[in-house]
Amino acid sequence: MATKVIAREHSVTAPVEVPAAETTPATRNPWRKKHAKASGATSPVRSLLRRLFRATPVEADALPHARFSQTDMGVRSLAIAGHGGPTVVFEAGLGHGKRIWSAVFGPVSNVTRCVAYDRAGYGQSEPSPCGRDGLQVVHELRNMLQAEKIAPPYVLVGHSLGGTYMKLFAKTYPDEVAGVVLVDARHSEFTQRCRQLGVRRMFYDPPEALLRGLSATARAELQAAPLTQKQTRRAGPFPPVPLIVLTQSNVAAKWPAGLGRVWEASQRSLARMSVLGRLKVCDDSGHNIHLDRPEVVVRAVLNVVRAARYVAHQARKKARSA
Q: Greater confidence, 244 or 3? A: 244
Contact 220, 227 (CB under 8 A): no
What is the tens place of the pLDDT at every residue in 181-221?
A: 999 998 876 666 766 666 566 555 666 666 777 899 999 99
The tens digit of pLDDT for each residue in 17-41 reads: 444 443 333 333 333 333 333 333 4
pLDDT at 236 over 70: yes
pLDDT at 256 over 80: no
CB-based contacts of 29: which residues, under 8 Å, 6+ apart? 123, 124
Confidence at residue 260, expressed as pLDDT on a 0 to 100 scale: 72
Are the C-beta atoms of residues 49 and 213 closer than 8 Å to each other?
A: yes
Cβ-based burial of 45 (10 A; exposed 0-12, middle 13-18, buried ≥19): middle
Q: What is d(CA 255, CA 78) in angstroms, rounded to the nearest whole number?
A: 36
Q: Say whether 11 sits in a helix, a strand or coil.
A: coil
Query: What pLDDT, in 10s, does the model give residues 272-301?
Result: 999 999 999 998 888 899 999 999 999 999
The strand order across the sheet containing 177-183 reads 67-71, 74-81, 114-117, 87-91, 154-159, 177-183, 243-248, 277-282
Q: What are the backbone angles phi and psi of residue 98, rounded to the nearest 5°?
A: -65, -25
pLDDT at 44: 39
Contact yes or no for 12/54 (Cβ under 8 A):
yes
Q: Which residues contact 189 (CB under 8 A, 6 or more apart)?
A: 229, 233, 266, 269
Task: Tell me the pLDDT of the chain averaged across its residues.
Answer: 81
Count CB neighbours of 319 within 10 A: 8
Could you tell me the CA-to-CA distances from 160 to 36, 272, 322 in Å, in that order? 24, 18, 42
Q: Where are the domains of the chain?
A: 26-321
Q: What pLDDT was estimated at residue 162?
A: 96
Nearest of 89, 74, 63 to residue 132 by alpha carbon: 74
Q: pLDDT at residue 254 above 50?
A: yes
CA–CA distance, 218 with 41 (Å, rounded to integer): 12
Q: pLDDT for 112-149, tens place per residue?
A: 999 999 999 999 999 999 999 999 999 999 999 999 99
Cα–Cα nearest to 306, from 276, 283, 268? 276
Residue 73 belongs to what H/E stretch?
none
Tell me which CATH code domain 26-321 carries. Answer: 3.40.50.1820
Percent of the chain exceeding pLDDT 70 equals 71
- pLDDT value, residue 147: 97
Decide which of 61 and 309 is more confident. Answer: 309
Smallest CA-to-CA distance from 80 within 100, 54, 108 is with 108
CB burial string 195-212: b at 16+ within 10 A, e below? eeeebeeebbbbeeebee
pLDDT at 183: 97
pLDDT band at 251 (very low <50, low <70, confident <90, very high): low
pLDDT in tens, 170-188: 999 999 999 999 999 988 7
Instruction: Residue 95: name the closest of 59, 121, 124 by CA.
Output: 121
Q: What is the pLDDT of residue 230?
A: 93
Beta bridge partner(s), residue 231 = none
